[in-house]
Amino acid sequence: MGIQKKIVIIGAGFAGLRLAQDLENTDFDVLLIDKNNYHQFQPLMYQVATARLEPASISFPLRKVFQHSKNVRIRIADVLSVDTQNKKLKTSIADFEYDHLIIAFGCTTNYFGNAEIEKFAFPMKSVPEAIQLRNQILQTFEDALIAPPDKIQALMNFVVVGGGPTGVELAGALAEMKKNILPKDYPDKDFSKLTIYLLEGSPNVLSPMSIDSQKMSRKYLEELGVIVKTNTIVKHYDGKTVSLQSGEIIESTNVIWAAGIIGNTLEGIPTESVTRGNRFLVNRFNNIVNLENVYALGDIAFMATPKYPNGHPQVASVAIEQAKVLANNFKLSLKSKPKVEYEYHDKGSMATVGKRKAVVDLPKFSFQGRLAWFTWMFIHLMLILSVKNKLSIFVNWMFSYFNNDSTLRVLLKPASKNK
Ligand SMILES: Cc1cc2nc3c(=O)[nH]c(=O)nc-3n(C[C@H](O)[C@H](O)[C@H](O)COP(=O)(O)OP(=O)(O)OC[C@H]3O[C@@H](n4cnc5c(N)ncnc54)[C@H](O)[C@@H]3O)c2cc1C
């Protein structure tokens, strides 16, 4: 065996994790770096935020995944900068040398430069943020019990900004909480004034999906009592008042920001290699343009193909498929065989609004309702990483299917020694 090539992967999300898994037991020396010691399954984060699933059901310790691996090592560190000339990566714990560097560190919440919104609105891009949101939601119900009359409505208004799948799913889950949970948990309080707004800047919710799915998801949301406002832009939010571009004002202490994402940045990546949305420009082999041996995968990669001239959608399946192709290309390089280009084959998309209410678009047709909802659940169960987590989620879902309830509404606030 020759000298092992060092492959350093930044990020153990859908792309980075899959790449490391596919490179297990090869002749590469793989170092997987993430700032967290776990992989997170973002599609079910809204269920953690609304106390339907435990955080551990959607988070997987990386060391457990690679317990038996001979060539994959893990480091928990924040990646700070890269020196592409000398092939060195600087992190919060040490510098690492590489032969090939793969950047798969994804995106972060995009507040479109509005520092005020960033300060006061709640994001949901990580498991800790989903837990923070869960605490905020549960604490708001407690605060509403004792609030003076002039403070009540701001507590009772939940404003979800962004009508993509995350916003739609979250608004639907909050509406189901109002309908099924609050009357049981708070028999002494009238929560009928609790209002859930879903605000979307474009003319439709779920805008990348089919017209039928857009219409049905809106209908489902409205049936659940959600006030859906499309063509609606948020201009300011000061923690108490949401000001819309139309001049309308909504009093709310609970604004959830699901309105967009922007690429994470890495010092040392030349500006010519970065394009809109802070994404790194890559060729069909996920190689960052102008940089040798540096690759980008998943949400952070911008690959224009004849079929997708504006880049691929930022979804889990693209991240996973790109990782598979790149891992295969590394293996082919060991045999001096030619590399294979990446092409996205869209297998469809889906979103759920509530119990027996979901929308599914397949390449040739779309369907909605009960069948779509079971399809959504089945696919998500299949995608979740471990058998134990599949079982735990399945049990939770079955429990809430029959009871419209869960036992997870615990307010777990971080302890502090500095009283
Ligand atoms: C709430 C939500 C719901 C979603 N629902 C769906 C869905 O239903 N279906 C779907 O297909 N897609 C969904 N997506 C999109 C999907 O999650 C992304 O497309 C996918 O996660 C992209 O994978 P990735 O590997 O590129 O990045 P990610 O999965 O985001 O992984 C990035 C990793 O990099 C790490 N990292 C970041 N910065 C650093 C740093 N400086 N140093 C070290 N490590 C770092 C992070 O900790 C993370 O582990 C959803 C996204 C969100 C936020």
DSSP 84-131: TTTTEEEESS-EEE-SEEEE---EEE--TT-HHHHHHSBP-SSHHHHH
Of 14, 59, 266, 347, the one to substitute when testing ligand 1's pocket (max ligand atoms within 8 A of C-beta) is: 14
- The reported pLDDT for the residue numbered 356 is 95
- The reported pLDDT for the residue numbered 312 is 96
Joined tokens for residue 74: 């893990």
Ligand 1: nearest atom to the Cα of 130: 1
Residue nearest ligand 1's atom 7 by CA: 43
Show the low-confidence residues of the chain (pLDDT under 70): 1-3, 419
Residue nearest ligand 1's atom 8 by CA: 43
CA distances from 10 to 4, 338, 373 (A): 19, 25, 35
* CATH fold for domain 5-109+261-334: FAD/NAD(P)-binding domain (3.50.50)
- The reported pLDDT for the residue numbered 406 is 84
Of 299, 326, 359, the one to substitute when testing ligand 1's pocket (max ligand atoms within 8 A of C-beta) is: 299
Cα–ligand 1 centroid distance for 42 (angstroms) = 6
Whose CA is closest to 121, among 265, 250, 35? 250
Q: What single-letter DSSP state applies at residue 276? A: G
Determine whether 21 is exposed, middle or buried from the number of CB atoms within 10 Å of its CB (0-12, 13-18, 19+). Answer: middle
What are the backbone dihedrals phi and psi of residue 321, each rounded to the nearest 5 degrees, phi first?
Answer: -65, -40
**Residue intervals in the chain for CATH 3.50.50.100:** 115-259
123 lines ligand 1 (CB under 6 A): no
Q: Taken in order 158, 159, 162, 168, is the CA torsion positive or negative?
A: positive
Rounded CA separation 37/56 (Å):
12
Rounded CA separation 165/162 (Å):
9
Location of structure tokens 């058998």? 387
Query: Residue-wise over 254-286: b if at least 16 C-beta within 10 A, else e?
Result: bbbbbbebbbbebebbeeebbbebbbbbbeeeb
Q: What single-letter DSSP state applies at residue 288? A: B
**Residue intervals in the chain for CATH 3.50.50.60:** 5-109+261-334
125 lines ligand 1 (CB under 6 A): yes
Cα–ligand 1 centroid distance for 274 (angstroms) = 19
Where would I find the beta strands (DSSP E) of 174-277? 195-199, 227-229, 234-237, 241-244, 249-251, 254-257, 261-263
Rounded CA separation 1/214 (Å):
55
Rounded CA separation 194/143 (Å):
13
Rounded CA separation 107/166 (Å):
15
Cα–ligand 1 centroid distance for 269 (angstroms) = 20
Q: Taken in order 117, 122, 123, 128, is the CA torsion positive or negative?
A: positive
- Name the residue type at position 306: P
Of 46, 89, 105, 269, the one to substitute when testing ligand 1's pocket (max ligand atoms within 8 A of C-beta) is: 105
Give the predicted TM-score (pTM) of the model: 0.95
Ligand 1: nearest atom to the Cα of 298: 26
166 lines ligand 1 (CB under 6 A): yes
- The reported pLDDT for the residue numbered 203 is 97
Cα–ligand 1 centroid distance for 320 (angstroms) = 11
Rounded CA separation 252/242 (Å):
7
- Name the residue type at position 416: S
78 lines ligand 1 (CB under 6 A): yes
Cα–ligand 1 centroid distance for 96 (angstroms) = 23
CATH code of the region 115-259: 3.50.50.100
